[in-house]
């Protein structure tokens, strides 16, 4: 047993008497003697308090005033003097160090903890739950090379003078490289880009109309900014690259070098009432063939029929008579069947590569077989994904992109492929690149519980949870284990229409109570909106709620289980309330949520962008989540919601991290959370600190959060409008 004296310099705003609470190492601070023993004023040292301690070879202790003010956890094994300014010393401090010079360690706006914004090195981040994701349409983000800009033939925007403006293919890899620091400053550690492979369709800027999985679309690259350059530049800044992959379908023109879909060259198309050579559509002068190619054709497929390849090599004006081998009619011809140029005949598709069951319609969208066997749209032609030649082509092509350094994959249109078939692809890529993170998009506008109920009119076999599991019982998720294929969390997203979009958390607990249905709920990717949907009554607009509602939504997304994902522009409420995609017949991209974002990232405007309240809010949330492992990896327990607030626990004590979360929406809340681990908690938002005996009580301001971390670092980041 040791016997020593400790002295403490009481800050001027502390109550009296000063107390000492002690415990022995390894006890977790729970000795049952809170609030401890009062100290006596030291008659020989004004302002100082002293106490003789007896205990183990060393003691853990903290000083407090029994009114909420206390020091961090301390340890001592000999006589010592402790002050908040100087820490421990073995001799008395200089007389100039007076109590009046000290501030309370729980001041509401204490100095932010020095937590580094930079993430850990890439090689140390093997668990993707440590990341947060910034999702962007590369072609709409930032234009670094105007020479590769390209207008699609559909939805061209014209100015008042009739000039074509806002090329659909505008952003590029060079622009993204130039603005990686912007994404770093915002605090994201992974970028999800839309499919970069070569595309073909009338509106293919987004990348979901694949034509050649083995080539990167040249409209994204520059001589000094290839896909490899982007990956290398991102990695140099500690950012991972997530590549979007389409397995379900190709464009309506086939796959270069593999399969051709029968149609006529577009340069021979003439609209009703017009004649060849008179087309006046922005850069598409004369005809609608690809204006960037000398031959004015859209594809260069070596497996196309001989007559097609001959036309491809000549006649850019599209004026030489061409006999349609299917009908015997001659083009160009005014008003000739547009389907022969832009459409397909499902019966004529090559069964080695495509399904031949027609197009999805009506109730097909909630029925597994037609959903997985029919074509989604006229420019999304359903591949026969179960055939070995299709598997070999797509798996092999993506493997080569993984070899470039791609860190993770997002799989498009998951429910359009039967689970076991899709897992063949996913597991093949994981075998090729161990530790690869792969997640899927299974769009649901509802809870997505399938045969488990909840008002869902679709079967489990097409719902997100089904793809995260291996069992075959649609009413029993735990009939099979984790598939290793997490999904975008459309269930949680769908609740936002009726919760945060209305300024409440009421009902959120219901969806969280079903977390058990997923293989690993902590790997779901959570979001407020994306390029297709937003949380409004029609699920099709960018978030249109008040700014404080968005902030409250982000507070939940960044503290709940799952991996947060932000859609580009959300950080400044970009195109707020706009439709996510073109709606009306004459809509152009500038009127949608896919408008060009780069104007906000210019050197002249980027400071203004970074000053936006939501930008600063997201930045701090990223910083806090990165500093608290429990926020990254733990499941949620003790979930409680009451409309204006929520509380829950994130318990990752196996890694030494534990946090108690309180959220308030619309109005400030006074929260009480019982049954938590005892010890010293510090709030990452305010810096406040308190000892907890199993019951934690704290206030949260409106639309803010309390993130009380057991033995945590204290305040992280600076106060801003919504976290204070």
pLDDT digits (tens, 9 = 90+) for 627-672: 999 999 999 999 999 999 999 999 999 999 999 999 999 999 999 9
Paired tokens of 382:
């359903």
The mean-pLDDT minimum among 25-29, 108-112, 131-135, 429-433 falls in 108-112
CB-based contact 49:40 (threshold 8 Å): yes
Looking at residue 157, its pLDDT comes to 97
Residue 26 included in any domain: yes
Looking at residue 93, its pLDDT comes to 53
Among 84, 101, 118, give the residue marking a domain's end: 101
CB-based contact 82:63 (threshold 8 Å): yes
pLDDT tier, 25 (very low <50, low <70, confident <90, very high otherwise): low
Paired tokens of 663:
């959220």
pLDDT digits (tens, 9 = 90+) for 202-243: 999 999 999 999 999 999 999 999 999 999 999 999 999 999
CB-based contact 378:343 (threshold 8 Å): yes
**Residue 74: φ, ψ to 5°:** -125, 170
Residue 637 included in any domain: no
Looking at residue 43, its pLDDT comes to 86
How many Å apart are CA 351 and CA 358, to the nearest integer? 13
Average pLDDT on 473-502 reads 97
**Residue 574: φ, ψ to 5°:** -60, 130
The answer on pLDDT for 362 being more than 90 is no
390 SS3 class: helix
Among 343, 362, 396, give the residue marking a domain's end: 343
Residue 35 included in any domain: yes
Q: CATH no. for residue 95?
A: 2.60.40.10
CB-based contact 349:249 (threshold 8 Å): no
Handedness of CA 54, 55, 60, 66 (dihedral sign): negative
Residue 536 included in any domain: no
The answer on pLDDT for 420 being more than 70 is yes
The secondary structure of 166-229 as a DSSP string is: S-SB---HHHHHHTHHHHHHHT--EEEE---EEE-STT-TTS-SEEEEEEE-TTT-BTTB-HHH
Neighbouring CB atoms inside 10 A of 463's CB total 27
Residue 49 included in any domain: yes
Range of the domain at 14: 2-101
First to last CA, the chain: 45
Among 705, 435, 389, residue whose Cα is nearest residue 555: 705
705 SS3 class: strand
In the chain, the number of structural domains is: 2
How many Å apart are CA 412 and CA 613, to the nearest integer? 32
How many Å apart are CA 413 and CA 282, to the nearest integer? 33
pLDDT digits (tens, 9 = 90+) for 246-279: 999 999 999 999 999 999 999 999 999 999 999 9
What is the overall mean pLDDT for the chain?
A: 92
**Residue 534: φ, ψ to 5°:** -145, 160
The widest CA-to-CA distance across the chain, in whole angstroms, is 112
pLDDT tier, 1 (very low <50, low <70, confident <90, very high otherwise): low
Residue 586 included in any domain: no
- Residue length, the chain? 724
How many Å apart are CA 304 and CA 42, to the nearest integer? 95
Q: Tokens 């399904």, residue? A: 355
Average pLDDT on 401-414 reads 98
How many Å apart are CA 284 and CA 287, to the nearest integer? 6
pLDDT tier, 59 (very low <50, low <70, confident <90, very high otherwise): confident
Among 296, 326, 343, give the residue marking a domain's end: 343
Handedness of CA 198, 202, 207, 210 (dihedral sign): negative
The answer on pLDDT for 111 being more than 60 is no
Residue 432 included in any domain: no
CB-based contact 43:79 (threshold 8 Å): no
Long-range contacts of the stretch 336-341 (C-beta < 8 A, 24+): 336/269, 336/270, 338/269, 340/263, 340/264, 341/263, 341/264, 341/265, 341/266, 341/268, 341/269
Q: Chain centroid to CA 286: how far?
A: 43
| DSSP run (H or E) holding 369 | helix 368-373
Residue 15 included in any domain: yes
How many Å apart are CA 213 and CA 182, to the nearest integer? 30
Neighbouring CB atoms inside 10 A of 660's CB total 25
Average pLDDT on 274-292 reads 95
Which residues lie below 8 Å from residue 43, measured CB to CB, with a gap of 6+?
A: none
Average pLDDT on 95-105 reads 37
pLDDT digits (tens, 9 = 90+) for 496-520: 999 999 999 999 999 999 999 999 9
């Amino acid at each position: 047993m040791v016997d020593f004296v400790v002295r403490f310099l009481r800050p001027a705003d502390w109550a009296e008497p000063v107390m000492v609470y002690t415990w022995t190492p390894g006890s977790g601070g729970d000795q049952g003697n809170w609030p401890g023993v009062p100290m006596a004023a030291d008659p020989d040292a004004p302002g100082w308090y002293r106490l003789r301690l007896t205990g183990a070879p060393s003691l853990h202790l903290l000083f407090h005033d029994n009114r909420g003010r206390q020091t961090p956890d301390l340890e001592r094994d000999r006589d010592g003097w402790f002050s908040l300014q100087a820490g421990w010393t073995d001799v008395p401090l200089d007389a100039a160090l007076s109590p009046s010079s000290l501030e309370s360690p729980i001041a509401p706006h204490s100095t932010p903890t020095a937590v580094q914004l930079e993430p850990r090195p890439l090689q140390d981040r093997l668990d993707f739950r440590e990341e947060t994701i910034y999702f962007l349409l590369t072609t709409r983000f930032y234009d670094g090379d105007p020479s590769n800009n390209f207008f699609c033939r559909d939805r061209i925007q014209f100015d008042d003078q009739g000039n074509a403006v806002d090329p659909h293919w505008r952003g590029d890899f060079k622009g993204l490289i130039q603005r990686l620091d912007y994404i770093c400053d915002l605090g994201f550690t992974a970028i999800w880009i839309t499919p970069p492979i070569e595309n073909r369709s009338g509106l293919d800027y987004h990348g979901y109309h694949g034509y050649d999985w083995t080539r990167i679309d040249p409209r994204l690259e520059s001589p000094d900014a290839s896909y490899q350059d982007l990956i290398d530049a991102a990695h140099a800044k500690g950012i991972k690259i997530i590549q979007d992959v389409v397995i379900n379908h190709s464009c309506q023109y086939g796959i270069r070098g593999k399969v051709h879909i029968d149609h006529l060259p577009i340069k021979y198309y003439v609209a009703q009432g017009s004649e060849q050579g008179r087309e006046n559509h922005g850069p598409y002068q004369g005809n609608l063939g690809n204006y960037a190619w000398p031959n004015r054709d859209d594809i260069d497929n070596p497996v196309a029929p001989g007559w097609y390849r001959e036309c491809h090599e000549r006649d850019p004006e599209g004026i030489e008579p061409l006999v349609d081998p299917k009908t015997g009619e001659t083009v160009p011809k005014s008003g000739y069947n547009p389907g022969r140029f832009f459409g397909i005949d499902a019966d004529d598709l090559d069964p080695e590569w495509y399904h031949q069951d027609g197009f999805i319609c009506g109730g097909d969208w909630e029925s597994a077989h037609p959903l997985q066997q029919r074509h989604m749209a006229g420019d999304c032609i359903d591949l026969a994904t179960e055939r070995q030649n299709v598997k070999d082509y797509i798996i092999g092509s993506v493997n080569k992109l993984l070899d470039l350094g791609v860190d993770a994959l997002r799989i498009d249109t998951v429910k359009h492929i039967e689970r076991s078939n899709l897992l063949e692809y996913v597991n093949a890529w994981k075998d090729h690149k161990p530790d690869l993170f792969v997640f899927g998009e299974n769009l649901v506008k509802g809870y997505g519980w399938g045969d488990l109920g909840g008002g869902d009119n679709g079967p489990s076999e097409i719902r997100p949870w089904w793809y995260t599991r291996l069992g075959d019982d649609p009413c029993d998720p735990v009939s099979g284990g984790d598939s290793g294929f997490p999904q975008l969390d459309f269930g949680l997203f769908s609740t936002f229409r009726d919760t945060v979009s209305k300024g409440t958390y009421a009902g959120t607990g219901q969806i969280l109570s079903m977390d058990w249905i997923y293989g690993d709920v902590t790997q779901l990717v959570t979001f407020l909106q994306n390029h297709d949907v937003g949380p409004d009554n029609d699920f099709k607009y960018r978030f249109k709620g008040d700014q404080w509602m968005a902030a409250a939504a982000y507070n939940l997304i960044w503290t709940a289980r799952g991996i947060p994902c932000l859609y580009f522009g959300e950080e400044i409420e970009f195109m707020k309330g706009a439709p996510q995609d073109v709606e009306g017949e004459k809509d152009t991209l500038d009127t949608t949520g896919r408008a060009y974002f780069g104007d906000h990232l210019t050197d002249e405007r980027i400071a203004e962008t970074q000053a936006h309240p939501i930008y600063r809010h997201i930045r701090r949330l990223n910083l806090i989540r990165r500093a608290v492992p429990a926020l990254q990896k733990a499941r949620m327990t003790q979930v409680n919601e009451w409309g204006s607030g929520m509380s829950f626990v994130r318990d990752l004590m196996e890694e030494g991290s534990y946090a108690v979360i309180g959220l308030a929406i619309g109005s400030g809340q006074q929260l009480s959370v019982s049954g938590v681990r005892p010890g010293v908690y510090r709030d990452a938002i305010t810096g406040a600190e308190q000892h907890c005996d199993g019951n934690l009580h704290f206030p949260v301001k409106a639309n803010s959060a309390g993130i009380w971390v057991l033995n945590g670092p204290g305040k992280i980041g600076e106060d801003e409008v919504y976290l204070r």
